[in-house]
A and B are shown apart, each in its own frame.
Chain A
Amino acid sequence: MYFQEMILKLENFWTKQGCIVLPPFDEQVGAGTLNPFTFLKVFGKKPWCVAYLQPSRRPSDGRYGENPNRLYMHHQFQVIIKPPSTDIKEIYLGSLKALGLKLAKHEVKFIEDNWETAVLGAQGVGWEVRLDGLEITQFTYFQQAAGIKLDPVSVEITYGLERLAMFLQEKENVFDIMWNEKYSYGDIRKDTEKEECIYAFDESDPKMLFELFEMYEKEGARLLEKGILIPGYQYLLKCSHTFNLLEARGAISIAERVKLIAKMRHLATLAAKIFLERESENEKLSI
């Protein structure tokens, strides 16, 4: 199955499950969790059901396109369901079947894997899903975000598309994955992978990045304090990516690290507050 077919199949599958299928969020993010359609929508009581592809950039993981398994940017396919249906695990396994896997011929294991991010004050408890030993999905229940205990919880399903594609296409090098019948993953991504690494590891200007971080952070705080949600939240995402670039460059000392994280955490908390206030107002209106 080609890479693009996988995306289509998953979109199709989750559409049938009643999910809104959205385009990727157009900011650089480290993971699908930062997309506001996850991070903000998990707050509050209103049901929510979404699926989207999210290119995710993690500069520190980049290897100039030379490593067969590591990427600066990879593709996540993210599903958020609030509240989770009781048979969500069976539905998820169904999605693997939709990708053409005959599960009875393989071993599917759910191994304990919990995550936590200081920047978002967020925490998920659950598993990594392994297919014949290969980690293909994170399957977790979102317990907390911006330090707030979520009620109800949401289930968060994050497929690692490159891994899955390598498995389905039996490739040992990520760049050999076929995107469609003509083009390989390497054709589409390899040059950019390399350049992004050159930028992150060799060419970026830490001094400028620190300045940018500060500007983004100020602007984010200014907007969020005025109650302007998404434009403010987007500045938090810009901060987060800038932080990741600085980290890849090895430019952040311990003391700075703690400070920068606290600043981003503050923005996340402001954003969550606005979202929750709006929701409770809406609730009042609907009554």
Chain B
Amino acid sequence: MATPRTHPKVRPYVLTGGRTVTRHRLLVHTLVTVPYYDPGLAAAMLPEARTLYEQARDGCSVAELSALSGLSLGVTRVIVSDLAAAQRVRVHAETYGSPFDRRLLERVRDGLRALA
């Protein structure tokens, strides 16, 4: 019997159990976006996941997602991680290479101003 030919590109998918990106560094300032919003999918999600999925449509940091959804940071991270593994959201892990990145500091400044 002939061995079935396996395309080499299948390997990483198999190794990570479907997750093509295994390393989501979900720091508080990591940005999360929705690459393609699917309302049908949103309707089928559990309430916590749906809330985060909808909030992330505008592109939010993990901290913002947590605050806007009323979910704790820990729960937010778990669900975002699951959504990212299913490729429902995109995690922009390298948005800010340094905590002193000018864009990050500006976002912090703007956020603090909004609080004041």
| A, B: real partners | no
